[in-house]
Amino acid sequence: MGLFSKLRGEIIDVIEWLDSSDDTIVYRFQRQGNEIKTGAQLTVRESQVAVFINEGKVADVFPPGRYELTTNNLPILTTLNAWKHGFNSPFKAEVYFVNTKRFTNQKWGTPNVFYIRDADFGRVSLRAFGTYTMKVADPVKFIQEVAGTSGNFTTDEIKSELRSLIVTQFIDAVGESKIPLLDMAQNYKDISDFCQKKLGEEFLEYGIEITKFLVSSISLPEKLQEKLDEGTGMNMLGDMNRYSQMKSADAMATAAGNPGMGGGMEGMMGMAMMQQMMNQNQMMQNNQKSTQQMAPPPPPVVQYYISVNGQQQGPFNTEQLQQMVAQGQLTKQTYVWKQGMTGWKTAGEVAEIASLFGGTPPPPPPPPAM
């Protein structure tokens, strides 16, 4: 009687799995060789599936719920073992619990650079990384194809295999997309969706569903990135120059609409054109200087603003002012100002500008009377 009580105590009455981990996909119920008694209680929690295996063959599968194990709900085991209806003896079977929840924030990345051919930059090396979310969609296939008889199968054990699949499909997807290199950052979602679609079928071969795939970054070679940053800076400078030209054009349009300013209109247009030409000249000179190594900094240039018909123009350097004096656009009575002056003064009051008028010939005499 004592022996019978001992054996009865070793028979398992409750079969369940309380998962306390974040990464376990498959857990084999630890029986330590004990048998399962007919009528034992099986508890399968939400996001779990219980799979019974008899002598290496998949038998019965149980979704979430609470079950009393009898021949009525173990049809495959009953058939495999030729149990008669009402069979009430202990039996042996391996019980695997499969976690069907979503495993989020799984990392992926290219271990080495990969190459694409871009229409603008030719052959370019890239790196990429991101995350994905997966879940077991077919517990039986996952056990058969991946987990096998492992008693505790985690995400780490399949991560390397899935990462290789992802990298291969990602590189193919980037090549097939034909997205220009400079447009990739704004098309991460399209690339992600395309990759997820391509990976779906391959993941299902393992019994896994990929529910989300994200591209977090596609990085360029450091030298190419530096060149692109330089180009962006030059574009910004170009936008500033275009803005200055637009404001000058607006000022001339305002002057043209005012009849009282007609006398100064031609002068303003001439000065605007002259300023634009000088600015272009200066930009070309600056570009040439930037190519010279160890070039000394240019000497400071004194620049003045002038007032024509109440409109501020400039700044102009001494060479520009000399041309304006020669063309009659700048006189001793023209108001001028530069940084450091307390207020506007006439050109004749500023010694540096007054000297420009010394070599200017007087107006020609009138022709002799006929």
Q: Cα separation of 198 and 88, whole Å?
A: 50
pLDDT in tens, 185-196: 899 999 999 999
Token pair for residue 236? Answer: 């910004």
Using the 3D structure, point to which of 168, 194, 222 is the last residue of a domain.
Answer: 222
Q: Are residues 204 and 121 in the same domain?
A: yes
Query: pLDDT higher for 315 or 103?
Result: 103
Q: Are residues 127 and 187 in the same domain?
A: yes
Q: Is residue 269 included in any domain, yes or no?
A: no
Q: What is the count of structural domains for the chain? A: 3
Using the 3D structure, point to which of 73, 99, 125 is the last residue of a domain.
Answer: 99
Q: Are residues 79 and 122 in the same domain?
A: no
Q: Are residues 155 and 67 in the same domain?
A: no
Q: Is residue 230 included in any domain, yes or no?
A: no
Q: Is residue 240 included in any domain, yes or no?
A: no
Say yes or no to pLDDT of 107 above 90. yes
Q: Is residue 61 included in any domain, yes or no?
A: yes
Q: Are residues 109 and 76 in the same domain?
A: no
Q: Are residues 210 and 108 in the same domain?
A: yes
Q: Are residues 54 and 124 in the same domain?
A: no
Q: Are residues 140 and 80 in the same domain?
A: no
Q: What is the CATH number of the domain that holds 168?
A: 3.30.479.30
Query: pLDDT higher for 25 or 259?
Result: 25
Q: Cα separation of 235 and 238, whole Å?
A: 5
Q: Is residue 367 included in any domain, yes or no?
A: no
Q: Are residues 206 and 134 in the same domain?
A: yes
Q: Are residues 87 and 146 in the same domain?
A: no
Q: Is residue 46 included in any domain, yes or no?
A: yes
List C-alpha distances in Å: 44 to 48, 204, 324: 6, 24, 93
**What is the full DSSP assignment across 80-129?**
HHTPPTT--S-B--EEEEEE-S-EEEEEEE-SS-EEEEETTTEEEEEEEE
User: What is the pLDDT at residue 178?
Assistant: 87
Q: Cα separation of 52 and 54, whole Å?
A: 7
Using the 3D structure, point to which of 199, 222, 245 is the last residue of a domain.
Answer: 222
Domain extent at residue 322: 302-357
Q: Is residue 286 included in any domain, yes or no?
A: no
Say yes or no to pLDDT of 121 above 90. no
Q: How confident is the model at residue 263 (pLDDT cuts 50, 70, 90)?
A: very low
Q: How confident is the model at residue 17 (pLDDT cuts 50, 70, 90)?
A: very high
User: What is the pLDDT at residue 132?
Assistant: 98
Q: How confident is the model at residue 270 (pLDDT cuts 50, 70, 90)?
A: very low
Residue 287: partners with Cβ closer than 8 Å, 6 or more residues away: none
Cβ 173 vs Cβ 190: under 8 Å: no
Say yes or no to pLDDT of 104 above 60. yes
User: What is the pLDDT at residue 4?
Assistant: 47
Q: Are residues 108 and 190 in the same domain?
A: yes
Q: Are residues 187 and 126 in the same domain?
A: yes
